[in-house]
Amino acid sequence: MAEKPHILILMTDQQRGDCLGCAGHPVLNTPNMDRIAAEGVRFERAITNSPICVPARANFISGLYCHSTGVWSNAGSLPADDETFFHHLQQAGYHTGYVGKSHYYPHDSGDHLSNHEDYMHARGIDYVHETTGPWASMRVGSYLTDFWGPDKWRAYADDYRRRSGTAWATWPSPLSEEDFLDSYIGRSAAEFVDGYDGGKPVCLFVGFGGPHEPFDAPGRFATMYDPAACPAPIPAEGLDGLNPAAAAYLGLRERYRPDGRGASAEQIAAARAAGKKLSDRLKAFAQAT
């Protein structure tokens, strides 16, 4: 093994901690995540510092709490002069890369993420190939939407408008498996690994957009699981005495009961397939260096 090992960080979005085969889930098939857990350590009691996207991600790379970053909602941004673990890795001789969803700053309609690469470089990231998540991809440009082209992007946006406000809109994506968000992210990360010859150890952060709703798994993944075999959502209970905002948040669980109870399983399967390809590529890369 090299003196400084390569580092691969895979982050899924809105995947419950028990949605893993190695965590005892009765239905989900996650062999590659299970392999990673078996070869290392699975932290069963790790808890995010925030349940909201931007604050949680800012905390993750800065090592700070929300009251230190000042980021409490998705309208905030990690301050450009805040230190991240990427900076420390650069100082230790690493080449740092980011592929996929980061969401360290707001993704505004009509923008293109390439306009923010200087900000990402200032976060300590050398190579940037950024995308948004599923919903923002309707209205924000990125390398992903450039790859789609106008016709596929329009079909994607039209489909998402049909799904808006309907939690059980679980029909398959109009995109092919190859064009699907998580497939693109996994493939782009693998291409970076295959093409890297810079001579430094690598830290690559790969941010998958799934299984964040809506539940629009592509192709064969849309029928991989039988919804009737999936456990029902945990019902919202004990709402009395909570403030209105907390009660409303917990009550959202009920939106996911009709028809599409196990829909996120299919998206986990799609992300799993993309992750397997990337994991295999990184293993080969590590053995070659």
pLDDT in tens, the chain (289 residues): 458 999 999 999 999 888 999 999 999 999 999 999 999 889 988 888 898 899 999 999 999 999 999 999 898 898 888 899 999 999 999 999 999 999 999 999 999 999 999 999 999 999 999 999 999 999 999 999 999 999 999 999 999 999 987 767 889 999 999 999 999 999 999 999 999 998 999 999 999 999 998 989 999 999 998 888 888 776 666 667 777 767 776 666 555 554 444 345 665 566 556 655 555 655 555 555 5
Structure tokens at 48: 């995010």
Burial of 289 (0-12, 13-18, 19+ CB in 10 A): middle
Domain range annotation of the chain: 7-15+84-288
DSSP per-residue string spanning 205-238: EEE--TTPSS----GGGGGSS-GGGSPPPPPP--
Record the pTM.
0.84
**Nearest-5° Cα angle at 267, 151 to 263:** 110
- CB-based contact 237:159 (threshold 8 Å): no
Residue type, 75: A
Q: How far apart are CA 286 and CA 289, in angstroms?
A: 5
What kind and span of H or E run contains 104? none
Output the CA–CA distances (angstroms, integers) from residue 135 to 148, 165, 181, 182, in the order listed.
Answer: 15, 12, 11, 13
Looking at residue 233, its pLDDT comes to 72
